[in-house]
Amino acid sequence: MANSDHDGIVLEDTQPAVDERLYVPHSTGWSAHIKHSGGTERCFAQHPGQDFFHLLITGEIYLENGGERFCLTCAMRRGIINRDRKFLKNDSPMPTIQPLDDMSDVPLQGESGES
C-alpha cells in the first residue's frame, strides 16, 4: 500500500534495505541544522590528511553545540553521532572531544594508523 504526502509524492510502505537513521547518544547541547545560502561557515574539524577546515555547503545538514559546527562526516568520525541504536540499551560513557589544537596525533574513531 502506498501513501501520498501533501506534495503528491508517493511514499511506499516498505522497510528500507539499510537503516539510514543517525543517533546522537549524548545529545545534550547538540542541535541539527541545514546550511542556508549566504555566509561562509566551516566545519570545526579537518578531514584526515587535510590542513584546512572545509566549508559547509548550502543545503548540507550539520550539527552544532556551543557555536561549534560539525558536518555529519566529521561528527561520525569523532563519535558524536553513530548508526548504532543499541546505545539506548548501553550506558556508554560520553566520548571525550579533544580541543582541535591537540588533535594532530590522536587517531580518530575507526582509524588504526595501520596500512
Domain map of the chain by residue range? 20-95
The x, y and z cell numbers of residue 112, run together, are 588504526
Output the CA torsion sign for 50, 111, 101, 46: positive
Q: Work out the angle at residue 79's Cα, subtended by the Cα atoms of residues 78 and 83, and round it to the nearest 5 degrees.
A: 130
| pLDDT at residue 98, rounded to an integer | 56
Residue 101 burial (10 A CB sphere; 0-12, 13-18, 19+): exposed
pLDDT at 36: 93
pLDDT at 112 (0 to 100)? 47
Q: What is the mean pLDDT of each run of 10 residues along the chain (115 residues)?
A: 60 73 92 91 86 90 94 93 76 56 49 46
DSSP at 31: E
Whole-number pLDDT of residue 15: 72
What pLDDT does residue 53 have?
84
DSSP assignment, residue 9?
A: -
**What is the reported pTM?**
0.62
Give the per-residue pLDDT at 102: 47
